[in-house]
Structure 1
Amino acid sequence: MIGALVLTLPVVALLLMLFRGNGDEDEGPLKAAIVDQLSITVPNPEFILDATSKLEQAGYVVDYYPGEEVTVSFYRQLPFFNYDVIVFRSHADRLQTVDDQGNAFDEVVLFTSEPYSEERYQSEQNDNDLVIVRYSEGGDPFFGVAAGFISNVGNGFDGAQIIMMGCEGLLTDTTAKAFIDRGAKSYISWNETVTASHTDAATSVLLGHLLLEGLPPSVAVAETMAELGPDPLFGSELVAYPPET
């Protein structure tokens, strides 16, 4: 177990069917989730309305989850909902350390809004699948979801496209690879710290290219970056994983 580690922050329906991946022949509606863990600290209802509108224009039924619902249990259940697109508007940060047993740990961790408890999820804490995260040094502790948790969750992501809007989501590829190994088709995120305003603006543009125009993830990312450029404060850029998607 990593003891008291601290993380600080910084076209349509037809084309979409081609991008569902996995040869899925289900005739049910396309489904998308917006996981707005960030709503607690940096709410942006205008972005949520815009993203929901784009997803619905593209033929998706959209479920919205506010920050208060983004718990460990939520992450555990998420794969079973069979979403085709998941937009994580969530805090994230890279954790680089060595645990008590000398094991190196270098992963991007996704924040939950569940307060930390030493007594809960002890096995997953011991395996570093769940770790302690904080919004700032000395702030209240919360549970963070590491790559091991994604790898061990009881169902797959079956061709889903993952958009991780938080900081450093592709500073390393460990967490991205965990989603891909669990069946996700693609994972898009930032390679460094990003401001909330820039990730909101970029994700809105990205959704248009990716879902309304039906561009492949890597092309949609390139088009988005050509239009908006890197984050003006931190210089971070959107990246698609795997790169060839």
Structure 2
Amino acid sequence: MSRKKERDRTEEGKGGTRGPERAGRGGRLRRAAAVAAGLVLVAGLVAVALLAWNPGAGGSPSGPKTAAIVDQLNLTAPNPDFVTAATKLLEKGGYSVDYYSGEDVTVDFYRSLPERDYDFVVLRAHSGLYRGIGPGGDGESGDTLLALFTNEAYDQYKYFEDQDAGNIGKAFYREGGEELFAIGQGFVASSMRGRFDNTTIVMMGCDGLGSTRTAEAFIAKGAKAFVSWSQQVSASFTDAATERLLQKMLIEGLSTSDAVEQTAAEVGADPVYGAELRFLESGD
């Protein structure tokens, strides 16, 4: 459960009050006094509630903004300098930051990501395009879709319903390499629990917007914006470009569209693969 939800639940527990007891047989005077006391109690509770919800009395009732750095690439292409820089930028931008290392990134981690209630998510994860498997599965047959890698070893007997629906499958970095679970567009749409709450998602991996279907699934799931690459991208290039993007979004206060446009103009295309920075936003 997220810190914000825990805090809300705690506040609810603290704010609960018993209803006023019924007046006894002591006559009208005692009944009137009980009613007056009840009115005073209610007025006091209303005053406390107004103070708690007044932005000038100590900030948002939902608490500080929260962000996550999901570093699936940590096991194959670690870059602690990027993690440190991104964390500092997010903190300067007013976010409390959680870091998830490679071994944390499993199918069930992705499943629970929306209900973790982050405002900003940096997905430093390997990804790639694949073909849909047909009706009842992940897209129509022949559709080009995006798969996000986990670091969980593939097992044909695990997550059977998700595998049968085509929402997850096996993926590997190179032919003959270790097989890992990867999630697809259908997993985002139907297997993730909860909803994002206007979350900004920066997906640093390959082909994140080579097909828009998975990005659209994140938007439909409540994300505000999805920023990623047009095609395959090198790890060093995406790290450097994302750091600059975060600087523009979090420190300079630019909108997603302006930050992406300026970053793309400054860094250009990946010199190795030609990837260009793009974004998709909610219509809300």
* Pair 1:241-2:280 in alignment: yes
Check conservation: 1:31, 1:60, Cα contact below 8 A.
Answer: yes
Whether 2:75 is the aligned partner of 1:40: answer yes
Distance (Å, rounded) in 2 between the aligned partners of 1:179 and 1:128? 17
CA 134–100 in structure 1, closer or farther in 2 if over 3 Å, else same: farther
Match of 1:70 in 2: 105
Percent identity of the aligned residues?
44
- The aligned residue for residue 179 of structure 1 is 218
**Cα distance per residue 1:131-183 (max 9 Å; x no partner):** 11001111111100101111112211110000000000000001100000000
Aligned to 1:131: 169
SS in 2 for 1:128: coil
CA contact (8 A) 1:165 1:190 kept: yes
Alignment of 1:1-245 (within 5 A): 26-96=61-131, 98=133, 103-152=141-190, 153-242=192-281
1: CA distance, partners of 2:253 / 2:183: 30
Distance in 2 separating the partners of 1:80 and 1:98: 28
Identify which range, 200-209 or 234-243, moves more after superposition: 234-243
Higher alpha-carbon Rg: 2
CA separation of 1:125 and 1:74: change in aligned 2, threshold 3 A: same
Higher relative contact order (CA 8 A, sep 6+): 1
Gapped runs of 5+ residues in structure 1? 1-24
TM-score (norm 2): 0.75
| Cα distance, 1:213 vs structure 2 | 1.5
1:14 aligned residue: none
Match of 1:104, SS? coil
Counterpart secondary structure, 1:175: helix
Alpha-carbon shift at residue 81 of structure 1 (Å): 1.0
Amino acid at match of 1:37: Q
List gaps (5 residues or longer) in structure 2.
Answer: 1-59
d(CA) in 1 for partners of 2:237, 2:283:
25
Partner SS state of residue 118, structure 1: coil
Deviations 1:77-134 (A, max 9, x none): 1111100000000000001254598833421110000000010011110111101100
SS at match of 2:113: helix
Answer yes or no: is the 8 Å Cα contact 1:218–1:244 preserved in 2. Answer: no
**Cα distance, 1:26 vs structure 2:** 4.6
TM-score by length of 1: 0.86
Question: Whose helix fraction is larger, Structure 1's or Structure 2's?
Answer: 2
Larger strand fraction of residues: 1
Q: Helix, strand or coil: the match of 1:231?
A: coil
What secondary structure, in the 3-state scheme, does the structure 1 residue paired with 2:223 have? coil
**Structural RMSD (CA):** 1.8
Contact 1:160–1:185 at 8 Å: present in 2 too?
yes
Q: Provide closer, same or farther for how the CA distance between residues 126 and 105 of structure 1 changes in structure 2, counting only shifts above 3 A.
A: farther
**2:75 partner letter:** I
